[in-house]
Amino acid sequence: MTPIISVIGRKNSGKTTLLERLIPALSCRGFRVGTLKHHHCGSFEADTPGKDSWRHARAGAVLSGVLAKGKTALFLEHEEPMAPEEIVRLFADRVDVVLTEGFAHAGFPIIEVIRGAHGGSPLSTGADRLLALVTDGEWDLGVPRFGLGEIEALADFLTLEIRQQAPQSVLANGLLAFR
C-alpha cells in the first residue's frame, strides 16, 4: 500500500499552507505526491481558485482530491464517504506518498500543526501514530518538533518515514531506492 500520512490541526492552524510548502519539497526529492482533503460537510466546491484542493494542485500534487459524505472531488458519486485507502488504491501506480489534510481518526501516521496564535491544546496527546509536530510553540509530545518554516528539515524527516512505510516490492523495484 502507498504510504499515507495525515496532516491534522485545528481550523486555520496552517495545514493547507504546510502542504503547499511540503508538496514541492517532497517532489524535489523525487516523490510523486498525492493529496486528499477531508471535508466535514456534505457538499463542497472543487478546483475553485483559492480553495484547498486547487491550492494542493497548484503546489504540484499529481493527485488531488477532496472527500466528504456523498461526494468526492474525483467526481465519483456515492452514498457514503470513500475511505482514503480506496482512493489511493485507484492511483497507487501514480503516487509514491499520499498526504491527507484531516482524517485524524483514520489510523494513519500523523503530523500535527499547532499555532500558538490560534490557542487550544494539541489534538494529539503523544499517540503512537503521531510522527511529528509543526509548531511555533514549545509543545513536547515525545516526537520530533519542527518550526513552521522548517519545511526542508520536515521533508528530510518524512523522506525516511516514507521509505520505511513503502512496500518492499516498491523498494525492490527501485522506485524509492534512489530518492
Indicate the domain borders of the chain.
4-172
pTM of the entire structure?
A: 0.75
Query: Could you give the CA distance from residue 174 to residue 179 in angstroms, rounded to a whole number?
Result: 9
Query: Could you give the CA distance from residue 135 to residue 14 in angstroms, rounded to a whole number?
Result: 10
Question: Is residue 77 scored above 50 in pLDDT?
Answer: no
Average pLDDT over residues 149-169: 87
Q: C-alpha grid cell for residue 154?
A: 520536515
Write down the pLDDT at residue 4. Answer: 93
The torsion angles phi and psi of 155, rounded to 5 degrees, stand at: -65, -40
Greatest mean pLDDT among 1-5, 81-85, 143-147 lies in 143-147
- For CA atoms 19, 20, 25, 31, the dihedral sign is positive
Query: Could you give the CA distance from residue 136 to residue 13 in angstroms, rounded to a whole number?
Result: 11
- In single-letter form, the type of residue at position 34 comes to G
Higher per-residue pLDDT: 138 or 119 = 138
CATH topology of domain 4-172: Rossmann fold (3.40.50)
Q: Which helix (H) or strand (E) holds 134?
A: strand 130-135
